[in-house]
Amino acid sequence: FLPENMVMCLPSFCTEGFVREYFIIREVFVNMLDQPDIQPSMLALRKAVQDSRVTIDRIVSFSSDAAMPLKLDFVIAGFPLSGTSTLNRALGKHPQIVTLPYEDNELWQAFHTSRSVKRWARPYLELAAQKRATLPTNLSGKLIFGLKEPMMVFSSFVLDVIAQLKHLKVIILVREPLLMIESWIKHAANWQTHHGDELYYTVGLLHRHLMHLVFSRIPKDRVLVVPTAALDREPEYTHQRIMEFLGLRATPAQGRQALAKRGNEWERGLCALLGRCFSLCDAQHNLFRSALSSFLAADKFQLDELLAQDGWPAHARGIGRAAVCSRRLDSTAPMLGVCDALGALALPQKLRCFDTMDSCLSCCFSMEGDCKLYGAKWLTCCEPLQAWYMTFLKREGRRLTCKGGTSPKLGCCGGRGRATFSVAP
């Protein structure tokens, strides 16, 4: 007479006794009345209630320390395809850090019960017991808990929860955005997060995401932004900064070496096996790469300045103005410059602010003098171009990335054969 699972929203004064002694009896009796072959009676009602096995599992809030079986100390919150797995693996080698070797997105679901929270915490607590048993004598008994979930950086809901946990620290890795998007397409990664956020090429606007989603909610002293390039270019310095941020003593070379060993199995042959070795540096993608570079240029400039202000040396940031593609490209392939005002591209007349393409390039790309970023001329001439390129990418991005046909093993634009996955959004 009762459904297998039932979710109820009750006022706080409704105790477990109220649910068992009134609500369940009432539900059983109402359901008995709906059965034409059942004669309701006190005896039948008593037997039905006795035969019903009811377990009450209260909904709890993960933002409440009282509900947590363990205290989470830090999260690796993003960005995807930027070395989060490498960092998570390296931190896991530290004798005082407890982190699991997979992405944990269970924590940020909308509802949790007391049993689901305990089930979530079990592998962490088991690993903590193992680490505590082998902890070197020269270290304190303190263990800190962390998890990796790189999609949370796009979710305002998740970041609001993190903001409520005042002790929780956040590590965010930032990669050269063009390379991040290239990996995104190559991996056929999902353009919709499991938190329900719809993504597009705007995932490459890393500075905007940091400012509008992260720093608008979480104080900067609780956030450490780490350039992906620093993992292999400055592993010692990077490891030291992360340990200081987490309040731990730097370990011997084991953890530092793990940072320098960043590598992706996809890049080492799987892409060739599946026939999807997408590269923005291929001549056939010149048009797409140029439009994407133009769209991301101003945000990259701001991101590089942010990292410089945080003390990261220039060679370790990897977000400079240098071209992503170092090898020579086919000069006969079509190109699209940020200031190209060719009639064939139907660039609106109001965006033609410059007499020559050179003057436009020196203005919108240098972002100096009259064209200082977000200055009057930049806002008038360069920002509209940025918006125009977003429109161009929405209209042509999928066709441009799929130029060249399909793989015999996997369709170029078919992702993993599931409708929610695609090579280009």
The span from the CA of 133 to the CA of 380, in Å, is 63
User: Torsion angle of alpha carbons 406, 412, 417, 423, nearest 10°?
Assistant: 180
Asked if residue 227 lies in contact with residue 318, where contact means CB atoms within 8 angstroms, the answer is: yes
Q: What are 357's two structure tokens?
A: 């393409």
DSSP assignment string, 321-386: SS-S--SPP-TTS----TT---GGGT--GGG---SSHHHHHHHHTT--GGG-TTSHHIIIIIHHHH
pLDDT at 393 (0 to 100): 75
User: What's the pLDDT at 117?
Assistant: 84
Blockwise average pLDDT, block size 10, the chain, 425 residues: 64 69 78 79 77 71 68 91 91 92 77 80 93 79 90 90 90 93 78 79 90 95 95 90 90 62 55 64 75 82 92 89 51 44 44 63 69 76 72 69 47 40 48
> Is-above-0.85 flag for pTM?
no
C-alpha–C-alpha distance, residues 345 and 347, integer Å:
6
Neighbours of 336 (CB within 10 A): 20
Residue 409 is predicted with a pLDDT of 39
Query: What are the b/e assignments for 153-174, b being 16+ CB within 10 Å?
Result: bbbeebbebbbebeebbbbbbb
